[in-house]
Amino acid sequence: MLDLSVSLAGVTLKNPVVVASGTFGFGREYSQFYDLGELGGVCAKGLTLHPRTGNPAPRIAETPMGILNSVGLENPGVDAFISQELPFLRQFDTKIIANISGNTPEEYGVMCEKLSAAGVDMIEVNISCPNVKAGGLAYGTRPELAAEVTEMAKKHAGSVPVMVKLSPNVTDITEIAKAVEGAGADALSLINTIRGMRIDVNTRRPILKMNTGGLSGPAVLPVAVRMVWEVSQVVDLPILGMGGVSKGEDGAQLMLAGASAVAVGTALFADPFAPLKVRDELADIAGRQGLSAVRELTGGVRPW
């Protein structure tokens, strides 16, 4: 029997497939299709300290190989998640990962304290957010800013592992990875969306109301594979790989590049069952290669 379990920062997932933050809501809609316990983990929709209404529409635009989004972190706030959504998710035999975004290091600290006390399995720290104290510069674009928010999260997360989500919109993602490792991160997740833009040639206006948005979907997979591979060479942290995963082969590429587990995101919009298909296809690939455990794929790439 093939062992599907993997470890991510000391958290054992029954299989290496989780759903990415922002694409699964809090799981209620998808639970109508299948038992969420079939998943290795659920990364909930991004949370902020206070409720947010998000950006004005239109805030989703299709592209030939994915979507652009500028949803703007619409969410009910961390307290509402803990009181209303977390009890629902706890019904299922899966790991719960809370994703958080803040505009100051202190906001990250407060949310980590609340979520740690509530008993989530892991906290994913989104550092693609603007730091209001640094003139709106995103935390994830400067090593020192990324380290600052990581240190704050670790200080307030207690025994709950902290996974930092890296932005691809940087010159060298390895510098950010090394900075957050030095600041105490327990794991990394990558990649977040790539900034993009579409224009309606007839109106000459950007299709998104906020002009630009984050590109996700199959188009970003080669970038994700490359960045996971680069980061895995310079840090000694487990990696949750994501970006364009829609089938088992995609997930296998990320694991071979160095990821311990993979996340399925945009593919969910086209096929709610995509994570289960990725899980089963990953198992098939590992089985055909004669492996006894799917985790044996991790880091198995053989560069020329």
* Cα-only R_g, the chain: 18
Structural domain boundaries in the chain: 6-297
Below-50 pLDDT ranges, the chain: none
In sequence order, which residues have a C-beta less than 8 Å from that of residue 123 and are 6 or more positions away?
Answer: 97, 98, 99, 100, 111, 112, 115, 116, 153, 157, 160, 161, 162, 163
Helix (H), strand (E) counts: the chain: 9, 18
Whether CATH 3.30.930.10 fits 6-297: no
Instruction: Work out the end-to-end distance of the chain between its first and last CA atoms, rounded to an integer number of angstroms.
Output: 32
Work out the angle at residue 93's Cα, subtended by the Cα atoms of residues 51 and 47, and round it to the nearest 5 degrees.
15
135: left (phi over 0), alpha (psi -120 to 50) or beta: left
Q: Which residues of 260-274 are buried (b: 16+ CB within 10 A; e: fewer)?
A: bbbbbbbbbeeeeeb
Secondary structure class of 162 (helix, strand, coil): strand
Backbone dihedral angles phi then psi of residue 116, each to the nearest 5 degrees: -60, -45
Per-residue model confidence (pLDDT) at position 129: 75
Per-residue model confidence (pLDDT) at position 135: 66
Which residues are annotated as catalytic?
129
| Cβ proximity of 195 and 253 under 8 Å | no
Structure tokens at 247: 């089938």
Per-residue model confidence (pLDDT) at position 134: 67
Per-residue model confidence (pLDDT) at position 132: 65
Cis peptide before 191 (omega within 30 of 0): yes
The partner residues of 98 in beta bridges, in order of sequence, read 123
Q: Residue 44: name the closest of 129, 123, 112 by CA.
A: 123
CA neighbours within 13 Å on the CB side: how many for 87?
Answer: 4
pTM above 0.85, yes or no: yes
